[in-house]
Amino acid sequence: MRTTHRAAAVAAISATVLLVTSVGTAQAMPFDLVGGRERVKVTVASDIRSTCNFYVDDKFVGNVLVEPDAPQSRVYPAAAGARSVDLWCAPYPDGIFELAATTKSVTVEPANPALELVDGILGGVGLGGLATDPTLRP
C-alpha cells in the first residue's frame, strides 16, 4: 500500500516537473524588421526548422518556412505610419505554435513614385543594394 502511494507521489511530481519544463521552453523567435515606403521587410532566422506567421497591426500578411541557419526575408505591404509587426513561429511540421510571439514596432514611410522609379531602375540593372528604400535591398 505504501509503495502504491509512493509511486503515485513520484508520478505526480514527475508530471509537474515535465509540465513546468515544457512550458518553460517556449521562447520568442528573434527577427529583424525594416520599414520602407508603404512596406515592411521581415527577416527571421532559427536554429530549428520552423514555420512562422507574420501579422501587421494584428492582420495576417503571410508566412514562411525557416530552415536551420538559413535566414528568410519577406517584404509585406503596410500603410504609412507607426506599425506593429508580430511573429508567431512553430517547429515544423508540428504546426503547434509553442514559440511565443515576438512584437516589434516600425515606422513606415508614405509612397514616393519618383523614388520607386529610381529603385526599379537600380534593381533592373543589378544595383538593388543601392535602393533608396531599405526594404528593397538584398
CA 115 from chain centre, in angstroms, equals 28
Per-residue pLDDT of 33-65, as tens digits, reads 999 999 999 999 888 888 889 999 999 999 999
Strand order in the sheet with 50-56: 59-66, 50-56, 81-91, 99-108
Residue 80 is part of a domain; what is its CATH number? Answer: 2.60.40.10
pTM score: 0.73
Domain enclosing residue 6, as ranges = 2-136
- By the 8 A CB rule, do 87 and 102 touch? yes
Per-residue pLDDT of 67-77, as tens digits, reads 988 999 999 99
One-letter identity of residue 52: C
Quick check: helix, strand or coil at residue 115? helix
Q: How many domains does the chain have?
A: 1
pLDDT at 89: 85
DSSP string, 52-88: EEEEETTEEEEEEEEBBTB-EEEEEE--SEEEEEEEE
